[in-house]
Structure 1
Amino acid sequence: MANHSSSYPILHASFNQNNSGFVISTPDGFKIFDPNTGRLCYERAVGGFIIVEMLYSSSLLAIVGAGEQPSLSPRRLCLFDTKTNAPLREMTFLTSILAVRLNRKRLVVVLKEKTYIYDSNSLAILDTIDTVPNLKGLCAFSPSLDGCFLALPASTTKGSVLVYNVMELQSHCEIDAHLSPLAAIALSSNGTYIATASEQGTIIRVHLVSEATKSYSFRRGTYPSNIFSLSFAPSLQLPDILAATSSSGSVHIFSLGFDTNQRSKKSSSFLGSILPDSVNDALDPANHHVLHNAVSAGVRSYTVVRKVDKVADSSSSEFASCRAVISLITYNGYFQEYTLSINNQNESSWSLEREFNLLSFHDRNLAARHL
């Protein structure tokens, strides 16, 4: 997630495709961390970068300068090798680069009104997508080669999203998700689901990509809020959990795993009998778990669900409990990791496992303070 405001010490933060590593950039350079240990794996202090994207745990990075130095133009994409500390290839565009996404087969470069698709190995251009003005560089990418989709805003006046098949190089569908323009988009890693939030930030909707049909509507809150990030759990099958952060300072976790029995229970209630399914889902708090005041209100933050473990109930096919590992990066310079435990009664508890300052140390062997 890029942040083009100079009010934060962190300009950009992103996890790699399987959440096994993350990178932050500051006006001085960028750092790569191992979230499992908190270890600082790599550091390069050569100036500011607005985009630093990893390719899994490889030595390849896609980096874009913040423009504060002539050599770090925001119009230049550099493919950089951390092993040799040298650029492998540079590509210059006519306007500023707003987002970059990549996997082992495709490289995606998002500009204000155009998005370019390249072959990751040869860097041959494969397609150009003309888009509506995308000033924020909003996009989402599912890195799985079997369900490799790219999502881009399809309107500046409403919350429509274009879903494009990056491997087949063709448009897959267009989804009208919200009445207001989009503020955040996320695709599950396997390309099954797409989550969207509008500039209102009160409702988060999840659509099934294959059918372009709505599966869930979640109410984040009653009052408008800026959605800073959306992220699915990295499931190899159906995603279990969707995480969101907003300007309220809270972390929101939504469970996608409730079954048809829960739906039928809702429909038998008084409200459920008179409200349509989408509204009914949005009003149901059973699948919504909130960590209040995780971050000071207004501070930009970015969260991912790094791991989900389920414990099955031996007496039935339902799960007895769920344990999720939630990592949070704040743009004022902190990393936090929580464990969220949910039992089969939908009761949840949060535990802060680790926290450290991303900006104040240079020790490559010990970066974490265990709590």
Structure 2
Amino acid sequence: MDCGIISLRFNPDQSMFIACMERGIKIFNVEPLVLQCHLETRPYGTASQCYIYSRSNAIMYIPGGSKPKLGKNHAIFYCKDQDKVVGELKFSSDVVAVRMTHNRCLVAQETQLHIFTFPDRMKFLITLPTIQNRKGLLEVSASRMSEYQIAVFPGFKTGSIQILDLNNIESSTSSAPVFIAAHENPIACIAMDLQATKIATASNKGTLIRIWDTRTRNQLLELRRGTDPASIYCINISPNSEFLCCSSDKGTVHIFAIKETHFNKRMGNTLRMIGGQYGESQWAFANFTLRSERPCVCGFGEQKSVFAICMDGGIHKYVFNPDNGSCSREEYEVFYHHDIEK
């Protein structure tokens, strides 16, 4: 069944998700499942991507889909309180990602990143070059409480990322970004925790996820999704920074512990001798497989639960227990036809 879903994304604390659809942009509360905002197609057009900062009233989106009002070279700002578009930025070529913090707006094109002040005046600050970034890989500090406000995006070399201090940017100048050689293959997915202390990266090979300390640049963990290559759709770190989940085209969502890592599985001595490089990896302590063949994004709910939100319009809730590695589906709903709660 074609639900007309163009893209899906959780908000930073994973309490909401955004669905860009041919019927417009819909923003849902996850638990309970309630449609909180609907930007209908007729006045606003369709969008390829949408971003909301935390649970704020500011929404940023990129035109796309079958009925856009403007070209893909625009970044649009919508205010829920005023129920209208309050600004737009136009660029010379397509925009591939948009992000916001409480005082910065970031717009990525395929080979560069632009940074502006936000929300006052939208003053241009700086443009930084990147390697080819067709996937629009870009993450920013999501918590206003965090003193460490950073942006993470691809570096100049294959498999590298760069970390930029957003607090230390003046017009046309900034401190030099910090680089991490994260993988040998091109970066395919980036995630960051709410506290801006950890970054998770995966390459287009999709077998390993590496966790990095944002301040020291040291690798903290190496997690193994599997041994067969895969396309990773999504990585998310739980709001308390204790767990990580990832989804891929294999149809399986994996759950890892990144604080109390003794929960993760490790190969026994015999398999370690046979497995070579695989024997030292930390494997997911729990996983579940979805019947849907459509891509899904995953995020954490309350009470040790994971939600998988799929392009077929379904939302699955699984509850896990790190002590014994159990994982079972507790709820299933279809979200794409939900109306706003009156």
Q: What interval of TM-score do these two structures reach, taking the shorter chain for normalisation?
A: 0.7 to 0.9
Residues 155 and 270 of structure 1: is their aligned pair in 2 closer, same or farther, counting only changes over 3 Å?
Answer: farther
Residues 41 and 217 of structure 1: is their aligned pair in 2 closer, same or farther, counting only changes over 3 Å?
Answer: same
Task: Count residues in correspondence.
Answer: 330
- Alpha-carbon shift at residue 62 of structure 1 (Å): 0.7
Which of these residues, 229, 244, 254, is aligned with residue 246 of structure 2? 244
Of stretches 55-64 and 32-41 in structure 1, the one that deviates more from structure 2 is 55-64
Deviations 1:240-263 (A, max 9, x none): 11110000000011111236x899
What is the one-letter code of the residue matched to 1:192? T
What is the one-letter code of the residue matched to 2:328? S
Residues 272, 278 of structure 2: 8 Å contact kept:
no
1:10 alignment partner in structure 2: 5
Deviations 1:130-163 (A, max 9, x none): 112211111222223412221111246x311111
Deviations 1:2-56 (A, max 9, x none): xxxxx87211222222222221111220111111111111222213201211122
- Alpha-carbon shift at residue 274 of structure 1 (Å): 12
2:148 alignment partner in structure 1: 147
Correspondences of 1:93-132 after superposition (within 5 Å): 93-122=91-120, 123-132=122-131
Deviations 1:327-364 (A, max 9, x none): 21111222222221222xxx122232332212234362
2:160 alignment partner in structure 1: 160
Residues 250, 295 of structure 1: 8 Å contact kept:
no
- Alpha-carbon shift at residue 200 of structure 1 (Å): 0.8
What is the one-letter code of the residue matched to 1:296? S
How many angstroms apart in 1 are the aligned matches of 2:239 and 2:208? Answer: 22
Residues 54, 142 of structure 2: 8 Å contact kept:
no
2:334 alignment partner in structure 1: 357
Identical columns (%)? 23
Correspondences of 1:50-61 after superposition (within 5 Å): 50-61=48-59
1:75 alignment partner in structure 2: 73
Task: Give the gaps of 5 or more residues in structure 1.
Answer: 1-6, 308-322, 366-371
Residues 262 and 103 of structure 1: is their aligned pair in 2 closer, same or farther, counting only changes over 3 Å?
Answer: closer
Deviations 1:107-128 (A, max 9, x none): 1111111111111122112221
3-state DSSP of counterpart to 1:164: strand
Residues 149, 166 of structure 2: 8 Å contact kept:
yes
Of stretches 194-203 and 140-149 in structure 1, the one that deviates more from structure 2 is 140-149
Regions of 4+ moved over 3 Å: 67-70, 266-276, 278-281
How many angstroms apart in 2 are the aligned matches of 1:168 and 1:275? Answer: 46
Residues 247 and 103 of structure 1: is their aligned pair in 2 closer, same or farther, counting only changes over 3 Å?
Answer: same
How many angstroms apart in 1 are the aligned matches of 2:57 and 2:275? Answer: 52
Which of these residues, 206, 213, 217, is aligned with residue 211 of structure 2? 206
- Alpha-carbon shift at residue 197 of structure 1 (Å): 0.8
How many angstroms apart in 1 are the aligned matches of 2:68 and 2:252? Answer: 39
Residues 24 and 66 of structure 1: is their aligned pair in 2 closer, same or farther, counting only changes over 3 Å?
Answer: same
2:181 alignment partner in structure 1: 176
- Alpha-carbon shift at residue 207 of structure 1 (Å): 1.2
How many angstroms apart in 2 are the aligned matches of 1:63 and 1:54? Answer: 9
What is the one-letter code of the residue matched to 1:124? K
How many angstroms apart in 1 are the aligned matches of 2:271 and 2:251? Answer: 30
1:317 alignment partner in structure 2: none
3-state DSSP of counterpart to 2:304: strand
- The answer on 1:258 being equivalent to 2:271 is no
How many angstroms apart in 2 are the aligned matches of 1:152 and 1:325? Answer: 28
1:20 alignment partner in structure 2: 15
Of stretches 178-187 and 12-21 in structure 1, the one that deviates more from structure 2 is 12-21
Of stretches 168-177 and 127-136 in structure 1, the one that deviates more from structure 2 is 168-177
What is the one-letter code of the residue matched to 2:316? Q
How many angstroms apart in 2 are the aligned matches of 1:8 and 1:185? Answer: 27
Residues 141, 186 of structure 1: 8 Å contact kept:
no
Which of these residues, 277, 290, 296, is aligned with residue 301 of structure 1? 296
- Alpha-carbon shift at residue 67 of structure 1 (Å): 6.1
Residues 51, 64 of structure 1: 8 Å contact kept:
yes
Residues 134 and 268 of structure 1: is their aligned pair in 2 closer, same or farther, counting only changes over 3 Å?
Answer: closer
What is the one-letter code of the residue matched to 2:178? C
What is the one-letter code of the residue matched to 2:46? G
- Alpha-carbon shift at residue 268 of structure 1 (Å): 11
3-state DSSP of counterpart to 1:11: strand
Correspondences of 1:219-238 after superposition (within 5 Å): 219-235=224-240
Task: Give the gaps of 5 or more residues in structure 2.
Answer: 170-174
Residues 285, 325 of structure 2: 8 Å contact kept:
no
2:172 alignment partner in structure 1: none
2:321 alignment partner in structure 1: 341
3-state DSSP of counterpart to 2:135: coil
How many angstroms apart in 1 are the aligned matches of 2:328 and 2:278? Answer: 31
